[in-house]
A and B are shown apart, each in its own frame.
Chain A
Amino acid sequence: MSRLRERLRRQLGEPSELGQQREPAREAGAQSGGGGTDGESRDPRDSGVPGSLAAEPSEPRATPQQRDGVGDRLRAMWSRGGSGRQSIVRSGRRRQASSAADGGASLGTPRFRPPGPRRVDPARPPTHPPVLERELRGDAGGAWFHCTARLCADQRHGTYALGRALEVDAAAAVLLSGDPALVGFDPRRAVFFDLETTGLMGGGGNLAFIVGVATVSDDGVDLTQYVLREPGDEAALLEGLLPTLEAATALVSFNGKSFDRHVLADRFVMNRMDPSVVLDTPHLDLIHPARRLYRSTLSSCGLGRLEEARLGVFREHDLPGSEAPAAWFAWLRTGDASAIRRVQDHNALDLLSLVTLSAHLARCVRAPGAALADPAALAQAGRLLLERGEGERGEEVLGMLARGDAGDPVVYGAMHHLAEHYRREGRYADALPLWERMRTAAGANDLYPWRAAAIALEHRVGRQGDALSLVESALDALARGEGFAGRDELAALLARRERLRRKVSA
Chain B
Amino acid sequence: MPEIPRHRGIRKVLDNLLEHPRTGPCVTHHVTIEGTAARYEEFPDWIHPTLRGALENTGVKQLYRHQRLAVDAVRRGEDLCVVTPTASGKTLCYNLPVLQRILEDPETRAFYLFPTKALSQDQVSGLQAVIDSLGLPVRTYTYDGDTPADARTAIRTRGHVVVTNPDMLHAGILPNHPRWRKVLQDLQYVVIDEMHTYRGVFGSHVAGVLRRLLRLCEFYGSRPTFICCSATIANPAEHAERLLGRPVTLVDKSENGAPSGPKEVILYNPPVINAELGIRSGVLSQARRIAVPFVEQGIATICFTGSRLHTEVLSRYLKEQLAKKPKLQGRIASYRGGYLPGMRRAVEQGLRSGDVTCVVSTNALELGIDIGRLDVAILAGYPGSVASLWQQAGRAGRSATRSVVILIARNSPLDQFVINNPEFLFEASPEHARIDPDNLMVLVSHLKCSLYELPFRADESFGNENLVEMLEFLEEAGLAHRRGDTWHWSDESYPADGVSLRSADPENVVIIDKTANDRVIAETDRMSAQTIVHEGAIYMVESRPYQVDRLDWEQCKAYVRRVKVDHYTTAQSYSRVRVLERFEEEEREQGGIKAHGEVHVARKTVGYKKIKLYTAENVGYGDVHLPDVEMHTMSFWLTLPGEPLRLAGYRGLDVVDGLLGLGSAMRSLAALHLMCDTRDLGLALADPEDQWVAGLGRGGQRTVQRTNEDAEPGDALELERPTVFIYDNLPGGVGLAEKAYALCDDLLEQARRLIIGCHCEGGCPSCVGPIGAVESGARAVAIDLANWLTGRIPRPRGPQWEPEAPPPLHPEERAEAQAGARA
Q: Could you tell me which A residues sit within 8 Å of B by CB distance? A: 11-12, 15, 18, 55-58, 60-63, 65-75, 77-78, 80-84, 86-95, 104, 106-107, 198-206, 230-232, 262, 265-266, 269-270, 275, 325-326, 329, 332-333
Kindly list chain A residues whose C-beta atoms are within 8 Å of the C-beta of B458.
58, 60-61
Q: Could you tell me which B residues sit within 8 Å of A by CB distance? A: 175-179, 181, 440-441, 444-445, 448, 451-455, 458-459, 461, 464-470, 472-474, 476-479, 481-486, 488-499, 580-581, 583, 597-598, 632-634, 731-735, 738
Question: What is the CA–CA distance of A262 and B153 in the complex, to the nearest angstrom?
Answer: 12
Contact yes or no, B583 A63, CB < 8 A: no
Kindly list chain A residues whose C-beta atoms are within 8 Å of the C-beta of B597.
82
Q: Which of B477, B489, B735 has the most CB of A within 10 A?
A: B477
Question: What is the CA–CA distance of A332 and B482 in the complex, to the nearest angstrom?
Answer: 11
B179, B476, B732: the one within 8 Å of A83 (CB): B732
Q: How far is the CB of B633 from chain A (nearest CB, A)?
A: 7
A-B contact pairs, 12 of them (CB 8 A): A57-B484, A58-B485, A60-B458, A65-B464, A74-B473, A94-B492, A201-B175, A202-B179, A203-B178, A232-B481, A266-B178, A326-B492
Question: What is the CA–CA distance of A206 and B461 in the complex, to the nearest angstrom?
Answer: 23
Q: How far is the CB of A258 from chain B (nearest CB, A)?
A: 10
Given contacts A232-B484, A329-B490, contact A205 B440 (CB under 8 A): no
Contact yes or no, B476 A68, CB < 8 A: no
Kindly list chain A residues whose C-beta atoms are within 8 Å of the C-beta of B175.
201, 203-205
Name the 10 nearest CB pairs between A and B, nearest first: A92-B497, A60-B458, A205-B452, A231-B488, A71-B469, A232-B483, A82-B598, A91-B493, A266-B178, A269-B178
Contact yes or no, B476 A15, CB < 8 A: yes
Kindly list chain A residues whose C-beta atoms are within 8 Å of the C-beta of B484.
55-58, 232
Question: What is the CA–CA distance of A419 and B580 in the complex, to the nearest angstrom?
Answer: 72
Kindly list chain B residues whose C-beta atoms are within 8 Å of the C-beta of A67.
464-466
Given contacts A84-B733, A230-B481, A332-B481, contact A91 B179 (CB under 8 A): no
Kindly list chain A residues whose C-beta atoms are within 8 Å of the C-beta of B472.
71
Kindly list chain A residues whose C-beta atoms are within 8 Å of the C-beta of B493.
91-94, 104, 106, 199
In the complex, what residue of chain B is closest to A234 when comparing beta carbons? Answer: B488
Contact yes or no, B453 A84, CB < 8 A: no
Contact yes or no, A57 B440, CB < 8 A: no
Question: What is the CA–CA distance of A198 and B494 in the complex, to the nearest angstrom?
Answer: 10
Contact yes or no, B469 A68, CB < 8 A: yes
Contact yes or no, A11 B440, CB < 8 A: no
Contact yes or no, B177 A66, CB < 8 A: no
Given contacts A55-B483, A74-B473, A204-B454, contact A91 B498 (CB under 8 A): yes
Question: What is the CA–CA distance of A230 and B470 in the complex, to the nearest angstrom?
Answer: 20
Q: How many A-B residue pairs have CB under 8 A?
A: 210
Kindly list chain A residues whose C-beta atoms are within 8 Å of the C-beta of B470.
70-71, 74
Contact yes or no, A89 B466, CB < 8 A: no
A71, A87, A95: the one within 8 Å of B445 (CB): A87
Kindly list chain A residues whose C-beta atoms are within 8 Å of the C-beta of B489.
204-205, 231
Kindly list chain B residues whose C-beta atoms are within 8 Å of the C-beta of A262.
179
B177, B469, B734, B738: the one within 8 Å of A204 (CB): B177
Contact yes or no, A106 B467, CB < 8 A: no
Question: What is the CA–CA distance of A68 and B470 in the complex, to the nearest angstrom?
Answer: 10
Question: What is the CA–CA distance of A330 and B440 in the complex, to the nearest angstrom?
Answer: 29
Kindly list chain B residues whose C-beta atoms are within 8 Å of the C-beta of A57.
482-485
In the complex, what residue of chain B is closest to A204 when comparing beta carbons? Answer: B453
Q: Which of B448, B466, B633 has the most CB of A within 10 A?
A: B466
B176, B488, B499: the one within 8 Å of A202 (CB): B176
Q: How far is the CB of A11 from chain B (nearest CB, A)?
A: 7
Q: Which of B459, B476, B481 has the most CB of A within 10 A?
A: B476
Contact yes or no, A77 B179, CB < 8 A: no
Kindly list chain A residues whose C-beta atoms are within 8 Å of the C-beta of B482.
57
Kindly list chain B residues whose C-beta atoms are within 8 Å of the C-beta of A81.
581, 583, 598
Contact yes or no, A199 B598, CB < 8 A: no
Contact yes or no, A66 B461, CB < 8 A: yes
Kindly list chain A residues whose C-beta atoms are within 8 Å of the C-beta of B179.
202, 262, 266
Given contacts A71-B472, A80-B583, A84-B733, contact A62 B454 (CB under 8 A): no
Question: What is the CA–CA distance of A65 and B465 in the complex, to the nearest angstrom?
Answer: 8
In the complex, what residue of chain B is closest to A322 when comparing beta carbons? Answer: B492
Given contacts A203-B452, A205-B451, A262-B179, contact A63 B494 (CB under 8 A): no
Q: How far is the CB of A111 from chain B (nearest CB, A)?
A: 15
B473, B481, B731, B735: the one within 8 Å of A71 (CB): B473
Contact yes or no, A106 B478, CB < 8 A: yes
Kindly list chain A residues whose C-beta atoms are within 8 Å of the C-beta of B738.
84
Question: What is the CA–CA distance of A72 and B494 in the complex, to the nearest angstrom?
Answer: 25
Contact yes or no, A87 B448, CB < 8 A: no
Q: How far is the CB of A62 from chain B (nearest CB, A)?
A: 5
Contact yes or no, B598 A70, CB < 8 A: no
B440, B483, B497: the one within 8 Å of A91 (CB): B497
Kindly list chain A residues whose C-beta atoms are within 8 Å of the C-beta of B445.
87
Kindly list chain A residues whose C-beta atoms are within 8 Å of the C-beta of B735.
77, 84
Contact yes or no, A82 B581, CB < 8 A: yes
Question: What is the CA–CA distance of A75 and B440 in the complex, to the nearest angstrom?
Answer: 11
Question: What is the CA–CA distance of A202 and B494 in the complex, to the nearest angstrom?
Answer: 9
Contact yes or no, A84 B732, CB < 8 A: yes
Contact yes or no, A87 B490, CB < 8 A: no
Given contacts A83-B632, A87-B445, A202-B176, contact A68 B453 (CB under 8 A): no
Contact yes or no, B465 A95, CB < 8 A: no
Question: What is the CA–CA distance of A87 and B458 in the complex, to the nearest angstrom?
Answer: 24
Given contacts A83-B633, A92-B496, A93-B494, contact A106 B598 (CB under 8 A): no
Contact yes or no, A230 B483, CB < 8 A: yes
Question: What is the CA–CA distance of A18 and B476 in the complex, to the nearest angstrom?
Answer: 8
Q: How far is the CB of A268 from chain B (nearest CB, A)?
A: 8
Additional A-B contacts beyond A71-B473, A87-B445, A92-B495 (15; CB < 8 A): A60-B458, A61-B459, A68-B466, A74-B444, A91-B495, A92-B496, A92-B498, A93-B494, A106-B493, A201-B175, A203-B177, A203-B453, A204-B177, A230-B483, A262-B179
Q: How far is the CB of B739 from chain A (nearest CB, A)?
A: 12
Q: How far is the CB of A13 from chain B (nearest CB, A)?
A: 10
Given contacts A74-B473, A82-B580, contact A63 B495 (CB under 8 A): no
In the complex, what residue of chain A is closest to B468 when comparing beta carbons? Answer: A60
Contact yes or no, A74 B494, CB < 8 A: no
Question: What is the CA–CA distance of A200 and B453 in the complex, to the nearest angstrom?
Answer: 15
Q: How far is the CB of A122 from chain B (nearest CB, A)?
A: 39
In the complex, what residue of chain A is closest to B454 when comparing beta carbons? Answer: A204
Q: How far is the CB of A57 from chain B (nearest CB, A)?
A: 6
Kindly list chain B residues whose C-beta atoms are within 8 Å of the C-beta of A92.
493-499
Contact yes or no, B496 A66, CB < 8 A: no
In the complex, what residue of chain B is closest to A71 when comparing beta carbons? Answer: B469
Kindly list chain B residues whose C-beta atoms are within 8 Å of the C-beta of A83.
598, 632-634, 731-733
In the complex, what residue of chain B is closest to A269 when comparing beta carbons? Answer: B178
Kindly list chain A residues whose C-beta atoms are within 8 Å of the C-beta of B496.
92
Contact yes or no, B479 A70, CB < 8 A: no
Contact yes or no, A205 B453, CB < 8 A: yes
Given contacts A62-B468, A203-B175, contact A12 B477 (CB under 8 A): yes
Question: What is the CA–CA distance of A205 and B440 in the complex, to the nearest angstrom?
Answer: 22
Kindly list chain B residues whose C-beta atoms are within 8 Å of the C-beta of A73.
440
Q: How far is the CB of A142 from chain B (nearest CB, A)?
A: 9
A70, A77, A82, A270: the one within 8 Å of B465 (CB): A70
Question: What is the CA–CA distance of A204 and B479 in the complex, to the nearest angstrom?
Answer: 14
Contact yes or no, B453 A231, CB < 8 A: no
Question: What is the CA–CA distance of A204 and B581 in the complex, to the nearest angstrom?
Answer: 37
Kindly list chain B residues whose C-beta atoms are within 8 Å of the C-beta of A232.
455, 481, 483-484, 486, 488
Q: How far is the CB of A102 from chain B (nearest CB, A)?
A: 13
Question: What is the CA–CA distance of A70 and B473 in the complex, to the nearest angstrom?
Answer: 9
Q: Which of A83, A231, A325 has the most CB of B within 10 A?
A: A83
Given contacts A56-B484, A70-B440, A93-B494, contact A75 B473 (CB under 8 A): yes
Contact yes or no, A91 B491, CB < 8 A: yes
Kindly list chain B residues whose C-beta atoms are within 8 Å of the C-beta of A68.
466, 469
Question: What is the CA–CA distance of A200 and B476 in the complex, to the nearest angstrom?
Answer: 24
In the complex, what residue of chain A is closest to B457 when comparing beta carbons? Answer: A60
Question: What is the CA–CA distance of A88 and B632 in the complex, to the nearest angstrom?
Answer: 14
